Structure 1
Amino acid sequence: MRSKINILGCVLFLICSTIYGQIDRYEYKRELKDITDSWHRIMLPDELFKNVSSDLSDIRIYGITKENDTVEAPYILKKNREKISSKQVDFEIINRATTKGGTFITFKIPLDQAINQIKLFFKEDNFDRLINLEGSQNLKEWYSIVDSYRILSIKNELTAYTFTSLKLPDSKYQYYRLFIKGTNAPELKNAQITLREATEGIYKIHPIKSIRTEEKKQNRTTVIDIDLQTAVPVSYIKIEDDNDFDYYRSARIEYLRDSIQTEKGWRYNYQNLSSGILNSIEGNEFKCNSTITNKLRVIINNQDNEPLTIGAIKVKGYTHELITRFTTPATYFLVYGNTRTGKPSYDLQYMSNIVPEKLKTIQLGTEQGIEKKGEKVVAPLFENKIWLWAVMGIIIALLGGFTLMMMKKK
């Protein structure tokens, strides 16, 4: 019976130690202020990201009640990225005609169907053409939609680049007439007509601390190192140029994943973030999965061309927020900074439909380090060596006395 009581006591002790030690497992905390409702929104500040794990799995919301109990509030992590949907529209090509000025192609689509993108597929490669697009409801009256829109295809042993997606304002006609300017126009193989709907994401522009550009003549590349003010989630990079000529250069963007200090200095480990073609036609926007970093590197492959003159560089990231539910009155803290913990599992993530539409945003306090409970140090029984030698002398004398008494009895 006594052993069972001891086991039960040990279990209760471990449970209590786990509950009260939850906050101590993290490095930082911020107090949540002005909690007035059951549901609230918490916007994560830029200064927080340098101290959280890369996947944000170590974020927790703990509360301390008046009885000094620890409670945990569930949350939904929301990244305010854009939402894109694309609906393909049925069509048929009802007319093809060629004149001295160029080639006409007419598409017919169902009535009352809006479109905003036409992607063209050609049999040939390597062309550079201008196209016009018109719309009509009766094949008699035509209205201009897009004029002198440039399409391009380059394919060789070094480059494979195609830009043949015609983006237009939302339009609702039954007939669309495409005009490819110039003789010997590339032959249209197929097309894809869609209605693309996008909800813009909520971005935050990240300040850039410094930009360094270096021309690597041996590798025929341009390397641009971008240092941000702090580690932040990056999901968008735009590279502007100051060139007055056409260009098409393959490029990749890397981010600093980690660094190691060696005898020769710091060694930086970069990893691919995005890649594409820098060109003079499109906006040179690179989008990627949200990644926390404070250093970016752009590598441009110039081949045998002269280096580009790079203009402004813009770095942005989605805003991150927590949708939180409070059920127990307490003083709550947002805690983070534990690379050994896993992602939490809350019922709330499967019930997002119950979240109210209007949420009050609560403020976060300043970041504070969490004090750790130090291990208890047991002081020695005798700190003075004189006492230690005295006790040892007494023990030796007693042992000697007992030995003499035993010898006399024998």
Structure 2
Amino acid sequence: MKLTVKTLACILLLLGSYAYGQIDQYSFKRELNGITDQWHKLTLPDVIFGKVLHDLSDIRIFGITAGNDTIEVPYLIQLTSEEILSKEINFKIVNTSHNEKGYYFTFEIPTDEPINQIKLDFKQKNFDWLLQLEGSQNQQEWFTIIEDYRILSINNELTDFQFTKISFQNSKYHFFRLLIGSKEKPNLTVAKISQNEVTDGTFRIYTIKKAKTNDHKKTKQTEIAVDLALPVSVSHITIGIRDTFDYYRPITIKYLTDSINTEQGWKYNYRTLTSGTLNSIEENEFRINNVILRNLIVLIHNNDNQPLSIGEIEVKGYVHELVARFTEPASYFLTYGNNNARKPQYDIDRFTNKIPEEITMLDLGDEQKIDKEELSVIEPLFKNKTWLWLIMATIILLLGWFSFNMIRKN
């Protein structure tokens, strides 16, 4: 009887050791310095991205209390991305006319609100027009807002591309007049007028270790291989073109996911990040969902055109900030590097409005590798959750057996 009780005590002690050893399930840690308040934030350095899971689900903040207890700190990951507030403005078309210059569309704005964007949609599927936008308070005196602004639509069996968004500085007029220089009457089906406020995001521009361009005559493609200095989280890719003539080329951007060493040599697996159109009308910046990568392949489909002269390539990503809540004194560490980790679920996800606007930034210590040799010999037993359930079931059976014997003796 005494031996069995001792066995139970040992089992419970081992379970406690399992809970305490959760930090040792991770590969790296960095000490957090400067904790003085309940809320703090820290910035993830670039070198971390090559050592975490693709969705950052293995990042944790652990604290070791004076009593040698382990506590887990809830956190949120926030990206310093752009913020766009768009307000659609009511209007009505009060006049349509034409002369030798082209076709006019006059919009009346019933409010005093400024506008800075007009989106147009036409029944025609293929066109290339230049337009001019003017503003007036009384339709007597007109002021030029933009001129020689190009809008374009191409629709065929190979592609479907349209650029009909007019962007300009904030303008406040009672009337806006659009002149489209076309011999054919533009069949305007939809127009949307809005006022957009854009708050710029904060980015890191990443170092490109190597960029190599190859023109493949057989496939009529230009391939650009881009190698970054280290794995990072990417959100924007800009392709610079030196040519000054008009161009329009389909483009596909891929990134390296993994590689396999076979008998025939290394095999590289790529996944498509995005596809679009490289063109001379707008800035060739391609936005993607945040992806951790190091190697890129850009494919430009030239068709029967001469290859473009590739200029500067820029790869950048948002700054990642962790906002964390600390509730008790302890020595805290940012830990990461656990292929078996699952994304944590914290209550603060549902109460983001309670997070203060002004939060002190923490200092992040140097990276320390967590020595796996310091783990208890019995820990591998509990890395498999099946063993843990078997131990729990054994405890329940033993307790039931003790209870049954005590009742029978009474």
Question: Is residue 236 of structure 1 aligned with residue 236 of structure 2?
Answer: yes
Uncovered stretches (5+) of structure 2, i.e. residues with no partner? 379-410
Match of 1:384 in 2: none
Q: 2: CA distance between counterparts of 1:258 and 1:311?
A: 28
SS at match of 1:12: helix
Q: Which amino acid aligns with 1:102?
A: G
Match of 1:225 in 2: 225
TM-score by length of 1: 0.87
SS at match of 1:134: strand
| Contact 2:103-2:186 within 8 A present in 1 as well | no
Q: Deviations over 1:130-187 (max 9, x none)?
A: 1111112222222211111111122222232211111111222221100112432432
Match of 1:134 in 2: 134
Relative to 1, partners in 2 of residues 1:108 and 1:7: Cα closer, same or farther, differing over 3 Å?
Answer: farther
| Contact 2:132-2:179 within 8 A present in 1 as well | yes
Match of 1:359 in 2: 359
Q: 1: CA distance between counterparts of 2:99 and 2:106?
A: 14
Match of 2:67 in 1: 67
Question: Is residue 117 of structure 1 aligned with residue 124 of structure 2?
Answer: no
Q: Which amino acid aligns with 1:60?
A: R
Match of 1:31 in 2: 31
Query: Which range moved further: 290-299 or 141-150?
Result: 141-150
Relative to 1, partners in 2 of residues 1:329 and 1:10: Cα closer, same or farther, differing over 3 Å?
Answer: same
Q: 2: CA distance between counterparts of 1:178 and 1:137?
A: 15
| Contact 1:119-1:166 within 8 A present in 2 as well | yes
Question: Is residue 167 of structure 1 aligned with residue 167 of structure 2?
Answer: yes
SS at match of 2:253: strand
Match of 2:245 in 1: 245
Match of 2:255 in 1: 255
Match of 1:264 in 2: 264
| Contact 1:57-1:341 within 8 A present in 2 as well | yes
Identity of aligned residues (%): 50
Q: 2: CA distance between counterparts of 1:377 and 1:15?
A: 13
Query: Which range moved further: 55-64 or 28-37?
Result: 28-37
| Contact 1:24-1:373 within 8 A present in 2 as well | no
Q: 2: CA distance between counterparts of 1:322 and 1:245?
A: 45
SS at match of 2:275: strand
Match of 1:9 in 2: 9
Relative to 1, partners in 2 of residues 1:345 and 1:185: Cα closer, same or farther, differing over 3 Å?
Answer: same
Q: 2: CA distance between counterparts of 1:215 and 1:69?
A: 61
Q: Deviations over 1:36-80 (max 9, x none)?
A: 222211100000110000000000011112222111111111111
Q: Which amino acid aligns with 2:203?
A: Y
How far residue 98 of structure 1 moved from its aligned partner, in angstroms, is 0.8
For 1:14-93, list aligned pairs within 5 A.
Answer: 14-93=14-93
Match of 2:286 in 1: 286
Match of 2:404 in 1: none
How far residue 10 of structure 1 moved from its aligned partner, in angstroms, is 5.4
Q: Deviations over 1:186-214 (max 9, x none)?
A: 32222111222222211110110000111
Q: Which amino acid aligns with 2:235?
A: S
Q: Which amino acid aligns with 1:87?
A: K
Match of 2:401 in 1: none
How far residue 114 of structure 1 moved from its aligned partner, in angstroms, is 2.4
SS at match of 1:111: coil
How far residue 91 of structure 1 moved from its aligned partner, in angstroms, is 1.8
Q: 1: CA distance between counterparts of 2:18 and 2:85?
A: 46
For 1:190-201, list aligned pairs within 5 A.
Answer: 190-201=190-201
Relative to 1, partners in 2 of residues 1:82 and 1:375: Cα closer, same or farther, differing over 3 Å?
Answer: closer
Q: 1: CA distance between counterparts of 2:184 and 2:198?
A: 37
Q: Report how many residues are paired.
A: 378
SS at match of 1:13: helix
How far residue 276 of structure 1 moved from its aligned partner, in angstroms, is 0.8
How far residue 9 of structure 1 moved from its aligned partner, in angstroms, is 2.6
How far residue 11 of structure 1 moved from its aligned partner, in angstroms, is 5.6
How far residue 264 of structure 1 moved from its aligned partner, in angstroms, is 3.0
How far residue 374 of structure 1 moved from its aligned partner, in angstroms, is 5.9
For 1:306-317, list aligned pairs within 5 A.
Answer: 306-317=306-317
Q: Deviations over 1:63-115 (max 9, x none)?
A: 11222211111111111111223222222111111101111110112212322
| Contact 2:24-2:375 within 8 A present in 1 as well | no
Q: Which amino acid aligns with 2:192?
A: Q
| Contact 1:77-1:320 within 8 A present in 2 as well | yes
Q: 1: CA distance between counterparts of 2:236 and 2:376?
A: 50
| Contact 1:100-1:182 within 8 A present in 2 as well | no
Q: 2: CA distance between counterparts of 1:37 and 1:171?
A: 46
